[in-house]
Amino acid sequence: MEFETIETKKEGNLFWITLNRPDKLNALNLKLLEELEKAVSVADSDQDVRVIIVTGKGKAFCAGADITQFNQLTPLDAWKFSRKGREVMDKIENLNKPSIAMINGYALGGGLELALACDIRIAAEEAQLGLPEINLGIYPGYGGTQRLTRTIGKGRALELMMTGDRIPAKDAERFGLVNHTVPLSNLESETRKMAEKISKKSPVALALIKEVVNKGIDSPLISGLSMESIGWGVIFSTEDKKEGVNAFLEKREPTFKGK
């Protein structure tokens, strides 16, 4: 599939999406958001794809929404632009398939919000993360106020939003904002290793984990626990469950088919 502002690559069961506006630090304009949405839909509907990886070309993962567009936006345009960004982030978070943000450099503003919409974040030690919107006299508009707060807690999230500070990946790891920090030279291999490990698990179980965790986090504990039990009943109807249990009993590796 041909895109202008992103590159996509299918590699076995992995689907790589690389933001491709390196001269503009992969800033998110409307075109890029639309292409990202399309690429994610293609990956989601492809049965062979088990894990989606999002990264950036050049020295940035993504430096956020394209600020050069801001002065032309009417309040109505701004609302639509924010809504489009949010829709894309929501779509990524709600994919049936696991997603990994491979943070190769700056992840700022909408770039950090994109990473937060992914399930797992692996960052290069050299990367810097932050929500600098406050420095523009605005605030995060692609879900950051909510997802960052749920990820690292209110106090630290408010500090990042209120100061606009960029923090090094190691600090982000300490806060639980990124799962792992590795040298840039190992970033791709470590990400691939994690993606391949997850790609061998049951796609049905992975989809249910996402559903129960993502819906559960917004629900009272009792409802989340109830969803977990109901889903647990459903998973017992799958071929993958039979395969997993039989493989254990037969002392062999399971092969999951997503059925």
Catalog residues that contact ligand 2MC under the rule CB under 6 A: 24-25, 27, 63-68, 106, 108-110, 132-133, 136, 138, 140-142
Min. distance of Cβ 176 from ligand 2MC in angstroms? 22
How many residues can be counted in the chain? 259
Decide if 250 is catalytic.
no
Q: Which is nearer to ligand 2MC, 32 or 52 (CB)?
A: 32
Q: Which is nearer to ligand 2MC, 110 or 231 (CB)?
A: 110
* CA dist 21 → 32, 60, 109, 156 (Å): 9, 10, 16, 30
Min. distance of Cβ 218 from ligand 2MC in angstroms? 22
Alpha carbons 225 and 87: distance in angstroms, whole number:
27
Contact yes or no for 167/129 (Cβ under 8 A)? yes
Q: Which residue is catalytic, options 133, 173, 211, 228?
A: 133
Q: Which is nearer to ligand 2MC, 33 or 152 (CB)?
A: 33
Alpha carbons 18 and 152: distance in angstroms, whole number:
26
Q: Compute the C-alpha angle 125/127/131, nearest 5°.
A: 140
Q: Strand 166-168 and strand 99-103: pairing?
A: unpaired
Q: Which residue is catalytic, options 11, 34, 113, 188?
A: 113
Min. distance of Cβ 50 from ligand 2MC in angstroms? 30
The three-state secondary structure class of 251 is coil
Decide if 11 is catalytic.
no
Min. distance of Cβ 182 from ligand 2MC in angstroms? 21
Active-site amino acid positions: 113, 133
